[in-house]
Amino acid sequence: MTFLKTFEERGFFKQTTHPEELKNRVESGRICAYIGFDPTADSLHVGHLIPLMGLAHLQRSGQRVIALMGGGTAMIGDPSGKTEMRKMLTEQQLEANVVKIKPQMERFLDFEGDSELINNSEWLRNLNYIDFLRDIGRHFSVNRMLSFETYKARLETGLSFLEFNYQLLQAYDFLELNKRYDCVLQMGGDDQWANILAGVGLIRRVHQNEAFGWTYPLLTTASGRKMGKTEKGAVWLDPEKTSPYEYYQYWINCEDADVEKFLTLFTFLPMDEVQSLGRLQGAEIREAKSRLALETASLIHGKEEALKAEKAAKSLFGDGGESEDIPSTQLDAILLQDGMGIFDAFRKSGLCKSNGEARRLMNQGGLYLNNEVVSDPDYRITAQDLLEGTALLRAGKKRYHRLTLQ
């Protein structure tokens, strides 16, 4: 089965430049394709999963893939679809980010063969301005660039010349990859459409080569929220930033209407299995959700961590039972000798940001110790509250934290 079929079947498709020619090209032999990732943070997040899965499907179907780290482009910052300029990152930060992101990529892609992980700073950093303008800049029409939808918001609020150049650099990346690796396909989220088109056009003008662009849909949840956001912010792939437990929770808490779509896009489960999970109704949908959570967590954190997260979830939300794997904080036994204020405990655990917030939680009846509502603001946790060495704090219905003795 070609990856085109897979993409179509699994929803990795929003638009493409010239579908017929691409199909012919794919059928006539192996191709090389790439996606760029700007290292704007020290970890990838859930928003990067679709492109990662896309590349992975491509590689599994036998194509050569290139994951391009935008060490050079991230110095500029892509204004596409953004309402304001990002804060500038130093070269050192970007380098450090690349180092941390690399192993995350390796969970999806195999760079042992001829597939590559490259950094575009390799060719962007030493560009000569005048040469670049004369060789590349002359192929770009400002009129046309301004007409793109992606800049619309920025034309209202302001777009610096720096950012306006981003598209040229991304187009130049594609040109360079085309030249070096005969890379003929660039993919990306649909917000990248204009940038991708620019690259395709540039390759045609400069080398008279045919190149293709392909975009993935930009996901929102069924009720319209942004994918990959929680109250705490982005859901990261780095376990230090988003623990496997939280990661698992993110997926198991998805909306009913999203389960099948998420299984399709974010797991490698065969489609017939996805569909049978998708047929579940009512409370049974939870089975599909737990499968989704287990699969996605396994991909990022490994099977073992995923199973731990599942076990923790079962012990908290299922038939009780104990688990070591609930997020926890260790306490010095001395702290409990005179008892620890209940609000302090909630603050230390990170469940509440301030005493006021903890008090509010209590007033609203959402503050629990060992699954009992606590309503006394002066309550002090002592050793007697520890059951087998742990006290279970709970804020609201589903935020848990354990206190354990050191």
CB under 7 A: which stretch of 47-55, 65-73, 93-101, 394-402 binds RNA? 394-402
Nearer to RNA, 24 or 363 (CB): 363
Check 14, 18, 25, 86 and give the catalytic one. Answer: 86
Query: Which residues lie closer than 8 Å to 50 by C-beta, 6 or more apart?
Result: 12, 189, 216, 217, 219, 265, 266
| Set 17, 59, 150, 170: catalytic member | 170
Which of 42, 191, 256, 344 is flagged as catalytic? 191
- Binding to RNA by residue 143, rule CB under 7 A? no
Half-sphere exposure of 280 (CA within 13 A, CB side): 19
Q: Is 246 in the site for RNA (CB under 7 A)?
A: no
Least distance in Å: CB of 168 to RNA? Answer: 20
Active site residue 397: no
Least distance between RNA and beta carbon 366 (Å)? 2
230 is catalytic: yes
Determine contact, residues 45/295, Cβ cutoff 8 Å.
no
| Window 273-292: residues binding RNA (CB under 7 A) | 282-283, 285-286, 289-290
Instruction: Determine whether 226 is an active site residue.
Output: yes
Please pick, among 2, 15, 40, 221, the residue that the annotation labels catalytic.
40
Amino acid occupying residue 313: A
Q: Name the segment binding RNA (CB under 7 A); options: 34-42, 141-149, 179-187, 347-355.
A: 347-355
- Minimum gap (Å) between residue 403 Cβ and RNA: 18
Both tokens of 265, joined, read 């896009």
**Going residue by residue from 33 to 62, which x/- string records binding to RNA, judged by CB under 7 A?**
------------------------------
Segment 351 to 380, residues that bind RNA, using CB under 7 A: 353-357, 359-361, 364-366, 377
Write out the two tokens for 352. Answer: 């509440």
- Binding of residue 255 to RNA (CB under 7 A): yes
Nearer to RNA, 138 or 397 (CB): 397
CB of 321 to RNA, least distance (A): 12
**Could you give the CA distance from residue 54 to residue 228 in angstroms, rounded to a whole number?**
17
Residue with smaller CB distance to RNA, 117 or 366: 366
CA 61, CA 176: separation in Å to the nearest integer? 24
48 in catalytic set:
yes
**Catalytic hit among 48, 308, 394, 401:** 48
Annotated catalytic residue, options 14, 180, 229, 241: 229
Q: Which of 252, 300, 342, 386 binds RNA (CB under 7 A)?
A: 252
- Residue 40 known to be catalytic: yes
Residues that bind RNA (CB under 7 A): 155-158, 160, 222-223, 225, 230-231, 249, 252-256, 282-283, 285-286, 289-290, 313-314, 316-317, 343, 353-357, 359-361, 364-366, 377, 395-399
